[in-house]
């Protein structure tokens, strides 16, 4: 089977309020970063022809939000498609462009400025049905709290364990130059931080974040023109669960298990525990780290809490970036996960570099309480 | 014209085309004759063939059709409106059908929407006293003026005071509020065919005076129901009226920031591409064509040459103020002096120049007295002569 190479990634440093830059300016920074790393260009002869962007109309406060950024994507007079989902799905789309033979080089970039809107909860409230969901104030935070409660019930996850996840995330974030929340905290700080929506506390939730990420993908034949150190995208899978919360078993990980199953099958992974040694999960809330780990097959059903206590996160190099808990915007949460996996596999992660990593998995989720999941497998 | 139950025979035939349902007559091929006797009667031939309709006003007795219906005008209108029982009319012989009776029963209900009487604006206004709800008018003292233009229009004043209601055939000078619109718009509003807010924001209704009073006045009257109309069971549809709105705080970055600060000083700045030299107005971070960062800002304008114009006649809200724009207004595209020829910039035109503006003309900016660094610091451009 043909392989797709990640030639380079570029991450904009995340912050809770990048007030001095338009999101266009942030995208231009990552574009120039990729150009610098790879010599990527857009000239008619041999330049990039296909661009995949990822952004959200509500966060950007305009419809067909990609229209506003085509110039800073290099997409002028080129083919450009927008992924109106978390950006990791744009990687899947770019893979299909290359694997189908439609094109051999694709530039992928995603952005989101959560700070631009008055409230990100108001933005995610708009993803719910206007008659039933919006009316009762559903948004990603309070819906996640329903799932947190269900998962705590199922796995026995405690306040202490959730606090441990946050404390560890901040420790790793401090070593990641692109992370937002790097201030060190102790268990008590987390356990007594103000309640947002029971059982989710302020410090269990990822901070409001602005960011942008870019990838350059190429076919196996073309990759060497851009890099001597490619990382291979060998698996992709996604799965959508029901829109109506009442139709879902919130603690079941149904969509994630399916998405992971598809990605692992494509990559030829039979047992994630044995064959994968780096994991990046999109843990928007602390309870999600053990829950998503479970869905990805690194521990048995309902054993996520035990996984935390038994130092599973260190054993499997979980979220050495600091994860979502250290602050990436929601529409690019998965792109940041995959970008971290790429630099780890390339051996370019600097202060937080893991040793001996050969195969990684990156996961993202869109929709409240993990309605939709996306999983990619990356290899050295 | 003779009317029965408020409706003329002619109205029924004249509205056939708009009531016709082509999708219900795909396999149909029939002709139906109508001989309607009495005052207001006449002869009509209706041909329905494979989704098409032809209605002909005939000079004499219609024969030789798939079915021919013979009735007097009152019976025909009454049956059509549901005021006279059709079965009874047939059995009593006041309606006679020659030919294939089943055509009328099987085809007509599928071929046409039910006839509804034509409602006139005057009938609605003239029924206002009957529809008045004194219990809702406690302490209300208003004069509502109606200025309805076009076919069926007129001017009226409705005086509500001391829990009584009186209608006058003139438009008083001292009305609390005057509503101006086409008579047909007024009819559509009262029949629920047109939404009040939509009619207002689209400029179909103009309100002079106290807008709040206009809004409240609707609760003072019962809903108008047309004479002869059968109260229709509304379809169970739900509409939510809400405008989701999330306050935004946009970053400008250095280029856009310089642009807006420039407006405060009555200056225009463009970003200049270091490769092709074109000027971007308003300035942006990158030249989309050369894909290079544009950090150099150059002053352009303030005068400009017009390249393209359009004149907008429909009203629409201005997103910066929420107010409805005065119509007509223009979208004026122009090249600021010193800017590259292909990079037009758009703003408003002084409305007084709409009739004279042409591409190639020189225009100059007119600035607001108080400038805050917003797009509205610039009032508009006007012809420079």
Instruction: Encode pLDDT of B193-226 as tens digits.
Output: 777 777 888 888 888 888 888 777 878 888 887 7
Whether residue B331 is predicted with pLDDT greater than 60 in this model: the reply is yes
Q: B299 and B342 in contact (C-beta within 8 Å)?
A: no
Q: Does one domain contain both B272 and B365? A: yes
Name the residue with higher pLDDT: A149 or B24.
A149
State how far the Cα of A135 lies from the Cα of B125, in Å rounded to an integer: 39
Measured between CB atoms, which of A19, A122, A131 is closest to B246?
A: A122
Residue A230: predicted pLDDT: 98
Residues of A in Cβ contact (< 8 Å) with B289:
76-77
Q: A51 and A69 in contact (C-beta within 8 Å)?
A: no
The class level of CATH for A4-118+209-223 reads alpha beta
| Binding-face residues of B in 271-300 toward A, CB within 8 A | 284-289, 291, 293
pLDDT in tens, A211-252: 999 999 999 999 999 999 999 999 999 999 999 999 999 999
Whether residue A321 is predicted with pLDDT greater than 90 in this model: the reply is yes
CB within 8 Å of B50: residues ≥ 6 apart:
B25, B26, B27, B28, B29
Residues of B in Cβ contact (< 8 Å) with A77:
289
Q: A11-22: b or e for each residue (b if 16 or more CB lie within 10 Å)? A: bbebbeebeebb
Q: Does one domain contain both B186 and B84? A: no
Report residue B316 CA to chain centroid gap. 12
State how far the Cα of A83 lies from the Cα of A89, in Å rounded to an integer: 7
Residue ranges of domains in chain A: 4-118+209-223
Which residue is it, tokens 């705590």? A152
Q: Are strands B329-336 and B292-293 parallel, antiparallel or unpaired?
A: unpaired
Closest Cα in chain B to A31? B291
Measured between CB atoms, which of B244, B246, B254 is closest to A118?
A: B246
Question: Cβ contact (<8 Å) for B291 and A74?
Answer: yes
Q: Which long-range contacts (CB under 8 A, 24 or more apart) does B285-289 make?
A: B285/A22, B285/A24, B285/A25, B285/A28, B285/A71, B285/A72, B285/B253, B285/B255, B286/A24, B286/A28, B286/A71, B286/A72, B287/A71, B288/A70, B288/A71, B288/A76, B289/A76, B289/A77
Q: Does one domain contain both B192 and B260? A: no
C-alpha to C-alpha distances, B23 to B19, B48, B113, nearest whole angstrom = 12, 12, 12
pLDDT band at B384 (very low <50, low <70, confident <90, very high): very high
Q: What is the average pLDDT across B159-177?
A: 92
B239 touches chain A (CB under 8 A): no
Most confident of A96-105, B64-73, B230-239: A96-105
HSE, side-chain direction, 13 A CA sphere, residue A199:
18
Whether residue A204 is predicted with pLDDT greater than 70 in this model: the reply is yes
B241 touches chain A (CB under 8 A): no
Tell me which of A28, A42, A107, A134 to substitute to probe the interface with B (most B C-beta atoms closer than 10 Å): A28
Q: A289 and A170 in contact (C-beta within 8 Å)?
A: no
Cis peptide before A199 (omega within 30 of 0): yes
Question: Cβ contact (<8 Å) for A24 and B284?
Answer: yes
Residue B236: predicted pLDDT: 58
Q: What is the average pLDDT across A154-181?
A: 98
Q: How far does the CA of residue A21 sit from the closest CA of chain B (Å)?
A: 4
Residue A376: predicted pLDDT: 98
Q: Does one domain contain both B260 and B376? A: yes
Q: Does one domain contain both B67 and B189? A: no
Q: A190 and A203 in contact (C-beta within 8 Å)?
A: yes
Q: A279 and A298 in contact (C-beta within 8 Å)?
A: yes
**Ramachandran quadrant class, B151 (left: phi over 0; alpha: psi -120 to 50; beta: rest):** beta
pLDDT in tens, B291-322: 999 999 999 999 999 999 999 988 777 776 76
Q: A164-181: b or e for each residue (b if 16 or more CB lie within 10 Å)? A: bbbbbbbebbbbbebbbb
Q: What is the average pLDDT across B236-260?
A: 83
Q: Does one domain contain both B280 and B306? A: yes
Does any domain span residue B241?
no
Q: Does one domain contain both B46 and B128? A: no
Tell me which of B237, B238, B240, B246 to substitute to probe the interface with A (most A C-beta atoms closer than 10 Å): B246
Count other Cβ atoms within 10 Å, centred on residue B6: 18
pLDDT over 90, % of chain A: 96
- DSSP state, residue B251: -
Question: Cβ contact (<8 Å) for B244 and A118?
Answer: no
Residue A30: predicted pLDDT: 98
Question: Cβ contact (<8 Å) for B251 and A131?
Answer: no
B212 touches chain A (CB under 8 A): no
Whether residue B232 is predicted with pLDDT greater than 70 in this model: the reply is no
Residue B109: predicted pLDDT: 83
* DSSP H helical ranges for A107-203: 120-125, 140-155, 159-173, 187-191
A88 touches chain B (CB under 8 A): no
State how far the Cα of A319 lies from the Cα of A171, in Å rounded to an integer: 11
Residues of B in Cβ contact (< 8 Å) with A131:
238, 240
| CA A68, A72, A73, A77 torsion-angle sign | positive
B229 CB-contact burial (10 Å; exposed 0-12 / middle 13-18 / buried 19+): middle
Residue B235: predicted pLDDT: 56
Q: Does one domain contain both B301 and B348? A: yes
pLDDT band at B241 (very low <50, low <70, confident <90, very high): low
State how far the Cα of A129 lies from the Cα of A131, in Å rounded to an integer: 6
Q: Which domain holds residue B357?
A: 253-383
CATH classification at residue B194 = 3.30.1050.10
Does any domain span residue B2?
no
For chain A, where are the E strands, in sequence order? 4-11, 50-54, 79-83, 105-113, 195-197, 200-201, 210-219, 231-240, 278-280, 359-366, 372-379
State how far the Cα of B385 lies from the Cα of B368, in Å rounded to an integer: 20
pLDDT in tens, A324-347: 999 999 999 999 999 999 999 999
End position of a domain, from candidates B111, B130, B156: B111
Q: Does one domain contain both B151 and B101? A: no
State how far the Cα of A305 lies from the Cα of A294, in Å rounded to an integer: 9
Q: Does one domain contain both B271 and B200? A: no
Q: What are phi and psi of A292, to 5 degrees?
A: -70, -35
Most confident of A103-112, B59-68, B374-383: A103-112
Residues of B in Cβ contact (< 8 Å) with A58:
246
Q: What is the average pLDDT across A114-140?
A: 92
Whether residue B183 is predicted with pLDDT greater than 70 in this model: the reply is yes
Closest Cα in chain A to B293? A28
End-to-end CA distance of chain A: 16
């Amino acid at each position: 089977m043909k392989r797709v190479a990640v030639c380079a990634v570029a991450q904009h440093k995340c912050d809770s309020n990048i007030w001095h830059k338009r999101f266009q300016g942030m995208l231009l920074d990552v574009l120039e970063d990729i150009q610098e790393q790879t010599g990527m260009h857009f000239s008619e002869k041999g330049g990039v022809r296909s661009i995949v962007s990822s952004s959200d109309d509500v966060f950007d406060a305009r419809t067909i939000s990609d229209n506003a950024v085509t110039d800073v994507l290099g997409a002028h007079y080129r083919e450009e498609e927008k992924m109106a989902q978390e950006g990791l799905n744009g990687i899947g789309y770019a893979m299909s462009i290359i694997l189908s033979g439609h094109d051999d080089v694709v530039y992928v970039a995603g952005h989101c400025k959560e700070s631009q809107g008055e409230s990100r909860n108001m933005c995610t409230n708009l993803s719910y049905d206007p008659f039933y969901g919006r009316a009762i104030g559903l948004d990603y935070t309070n819906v996640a709290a329903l799932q947190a409660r269900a998962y705590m019930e199922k796995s026995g996850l405690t306040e202490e364990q959730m606090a441990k996840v946050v404390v560890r995330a901040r420790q790793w974030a401090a070593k990641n130059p692109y992370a937002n929340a790097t201030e060190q905290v102790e268990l008590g700080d987390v356990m007594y931080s103000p309640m947002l929506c029971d059982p989710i506390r302020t410090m269990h939730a990822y901070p409001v974040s602005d960011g942008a990420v870019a990838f350059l993908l190429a076919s196996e034949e073309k990759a060497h023109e851009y890099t001597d150190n490619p990382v291979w995208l060998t698996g992709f899978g996604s799965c959508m669960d029901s829109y109506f919360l009442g139709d879902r078993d919130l603690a079941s990980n149904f969509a994630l298990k399916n998405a992971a199953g598809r990605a692992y099958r494509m990559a030829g992974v039979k047992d994630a525990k044995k064959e994968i040694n780096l994991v990046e999960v999109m843990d928007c809330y602390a309870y999600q780290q053990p829950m998503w780990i479970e869905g990805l097959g690194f521990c048995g059903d309902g054993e996520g809490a035990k996984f935390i206590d038994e130092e599973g996160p260190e054993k499997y190099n979980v979220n050495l970036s600091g994860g979502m808990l250290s602050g990436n915007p929601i529409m690019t949460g998965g792109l940041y996960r995959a970008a971290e996996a790429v630099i780890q596999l390339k051996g370019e992660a600097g202060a937080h570099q893991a040793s001996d990593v050969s195969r990684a998995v990156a996961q993202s989720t869109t929709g409240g309480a993990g309605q939709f999941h996306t999983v990619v497998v990356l290899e050295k | 014209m003779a009317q029965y139950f408020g409706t003329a025979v002619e109205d029924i035939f004249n509205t056939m085309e708009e009531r016709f349902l082509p999708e219900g007559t795909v396999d149909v091929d029939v002709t139906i004759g109508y001989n309607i006797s009495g005052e207001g009667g006449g002869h009509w031939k209706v041909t329905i063939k494979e989704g098409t309709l032809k209605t002909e006003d005939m000079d004499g007795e219609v024969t030789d059709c798939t079915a021919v219906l013979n009735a007097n005008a009152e019976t025909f209108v009454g049956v059509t409106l549901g005021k006279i029982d059709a079965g009874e009319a047939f059995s009593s012989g006041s309606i006679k059908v020659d030919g294939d009776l089943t055509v009328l029963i099987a085809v007509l209900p599928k071929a046409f929407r039910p006839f509804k009487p034509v409602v006139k604006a005057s009938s609605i206004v003239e029924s206002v006293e009957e529809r008045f709800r004194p219990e809702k008018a406690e302490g209300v003292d208003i004069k509502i003026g109606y200025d309805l233009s076009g076919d069926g229009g007129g001017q009226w004043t409705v005086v509500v005071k001391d829990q009584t209601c009186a209608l006058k055939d003139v438009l008083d000078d001292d009305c609390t509020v005057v509503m101006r619109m086409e008579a047909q718009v007024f009819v559509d509003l009262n029949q629920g065919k047109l939404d009040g807010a939509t009619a207002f924001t689209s400029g179909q209704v103009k309100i002079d005076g106290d807008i709040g009073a206009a809004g409240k006045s609707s609760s003072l009257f019962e809903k108008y129901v047309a004479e002869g109309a059968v109260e229709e069971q509304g379809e169970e549809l739900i509409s939510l009226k809400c405008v989701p709105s999330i306050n935004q705080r946009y970053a400008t970055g250095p280029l856009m920031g310089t642009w807006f600060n420039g407006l405060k000083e009555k200056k225009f700045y463009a970003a200049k591409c270091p490769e092709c030299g074109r000027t971007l107005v308003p300035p942006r971070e990158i030249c989309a064509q050369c894909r290079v960062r544009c950090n150099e800002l150059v002053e352009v304008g303030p005068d400009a040459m017009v390249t393209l114009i359009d004149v907008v006649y429909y009203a629409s809200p201005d997103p910066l103020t929420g107010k409805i724009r005065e119509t007509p207004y223009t979208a004026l595209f122009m090249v600021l002096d010193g800017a590259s020829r292909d990079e037009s910039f758009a703003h408003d035109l002084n409305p007084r120049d709409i009739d004279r503006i042409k591409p190639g003309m020189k225009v100059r900016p007119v600035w607001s007295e108080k400038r805050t660094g917003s797009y509205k610091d610039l009032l508009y451009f006007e012809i420079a002569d």
